[in-house]
């Protein structure tokens, strides 16, 4: 914190975020005096400043494309999440069309046959093995659609005690030592908390919020939190994932299940491979349809030729 404020004293720091993997730098989101969102990077071990990048990156591009098609969120998110309905319907239709599908889990694609045959075999095989993943992605996307249409979960429990009055978002002279003490108080409040997010107050009536992973499963890091009064660094409230209501727990489980980060690097790699397999099914589907369409066109042309020849003979 001190290194960042020394390097960019005029920047408005929003929060400090730590990734789950230890080889990533700490990320601090900030707003410049000219109102540009940037990312400040720091060494986790000693806090030394490493560099600054724009908020918009390759990761942000893919996130925005995936989430809202680079459109305004109020327009793009409903469009993207609504596609979960035809995805789910197509999966159910596939099981209906594929008779005795349970026999196909270990059926080897017939690569020695024509493209139309082996691409169909491969399409069915991949579809069977990824069916549970497709259901998971579809259901979590439907949940996102419900949230976007007004079914958002209630907010987290707020502070239990009032803060001391102050005139600014952070008290004058607030330093990295104060932040370290605040984190220590948060750990005393919730022993075992693995701090992942430190949200700095944005207004004089806002608390310092420290969030992270604790004992609740299938929740985002924000599901466990401690509220700190920046004036005296005392704990004014806390909450844990197990105490959240059912609606909020479902909402918090959507991201870990949809993106597959609940099990660390292993589930991330698995989700990547499953997503790649789903994407490959679009290619095999195109091949199957194009081959079928080509055959229908050839049959139609053959029928038309026979009709024309018959007419010539009659004349």
Q: Where are the domains of the chain?
A: 1-56
Q: How many CA atoms lie within 13 A of 103 on its CB side?
A: 3
Q: What is the pLDDT of residue 221?
A: 93
Q: What is the pLDDT of residue 254?
A: 94
Q: What is the pLDDT of residue 298?
A: 63
Average per-residue pLDDT for the chain: 90
Mean pLDDT within 37-57: 92
Q: What is the pLDDT of residue 269?
A: 95
> Where are the alpha helices (H) located in 83-169, listed in sequence order?
84-97, 115-129, 131-146
Mean pLDDT within 277-297: 83
Mean pLDDT within 47-59: 91
Residues whose CB is less than 8 angstroms from the CB of residue 195 and which lie 6 or more positions away in sequence, other chains included: 18, 183, 186, 187, 210, 211, 212
- The answer, yes or no, to whether residue 315 has pLDDT greater than 60, is no
- The answer, yes or no, to whether residue 278 has pLDDT greater than 70, is yes
Give pLDDT tens digits for 61-117: 999 999 999 999 999 999 999 999 999 999 999 899 888 888 889 889 888 888 888
Token digits of residue 76: 């793009």
Q: What is the pLDDT of residue 179?
A: 96
Q: Determine the Cα–Cα distance for residues 112 and 252; give it in Å rounded to an integer.
A: 47
Q: What is the pLDDT of residue 291?
A: 78
Q: Determine the Cα–Cα distance for residues 146 and 141; give it in Å rounded to an integer.
A: 9
Query: What is this structure's pTM?
Result: 0.84
Residue found by looking up tokens 């909402």 in the block: 251
Of 19-23, 105-109, 165-169, 301-305, which range is least confident?
Answer: 301-305
Give pLDDT tens digits for 179-227: 999 999 999 999 999 999 999 999 999 999 999 999 999 999 999 999 9
Supply the DSSP symbol for 103: G
How does residue 286 score in pLDDT terms, banded at 50, 70 and 90? confident
Residue 168, judged by CB atoms within 10 A of its CB (0-12, 13-18, 19+), counts as exposed
Q: What is the pLDDT of residue 292?
A: 76
Q: What is the pLDDT of residue 137?
A: 96
Q: What is the pLDDT of residue 18?
A: 95
């Amino acid at each position: 914190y001190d290194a960042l404020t020394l390097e960019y004293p005029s920047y408005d720091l929003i929060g400090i975020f730590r990734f789950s993997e230890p080889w990533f730098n700490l990320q601090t989101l900030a707003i410049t005096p000219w109102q540009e969102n940037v990312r400040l990077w720091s060494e986790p071990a000693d806090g030394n400043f490493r560099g600054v990048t724009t908020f918009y990156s390759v990761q942000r591009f893919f996130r925005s494309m995936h989430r809202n098609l680079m459109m305004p969120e109020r327009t793009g998110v409903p469009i993207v999440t609504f596609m979960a309905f035809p995805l789910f319907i197509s999966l159910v239709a596939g099981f209906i069309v594929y008779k005795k599908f349970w026999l196909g889990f270990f059926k080897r694609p017939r690569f020695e046959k024509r493209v139309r045959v082996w691409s169909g075999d491969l399409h069915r095989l991949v579809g069977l093995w990824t069916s549970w993943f497709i259901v998971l992605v579809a259901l979590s996307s439907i949940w996102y659609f419900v949230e976007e249409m007004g079914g958002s979960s209630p907010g987290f429990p707020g502070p239990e005690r009032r803060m001391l009055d102050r005139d600014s978002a952070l008290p004058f002279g607030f330093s990295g030592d104060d932040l370290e003490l605040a984190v220590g108080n948060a750990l005393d409040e919730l022993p075992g908390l693995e701090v992942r997010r430190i949200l700095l107050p944005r207004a004089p009536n806002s608390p310092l919020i420290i969030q992270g992973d604790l004992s609740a499963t299938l929740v985002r890091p924000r599901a466990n939190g401690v509220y700190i009064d920046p004036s005296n660094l005392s704990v004014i409230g806390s909450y844990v994932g197990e105490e959240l209501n059912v609606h909020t727990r479902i909402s918090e489980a959507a991201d870990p299940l949809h993106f597959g980060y609940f099990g660390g690097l292993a589930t991330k790699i698995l989700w990547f491979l499953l997503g790649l397999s789903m994407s490959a099914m679009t290619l095999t589907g195109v091949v199957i349809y194009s081959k079928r369409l080509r055959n229908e066109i050839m049959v139609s042309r053959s029928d038309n030729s026979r009709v024309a020849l018959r007419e010539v003979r009659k004349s």
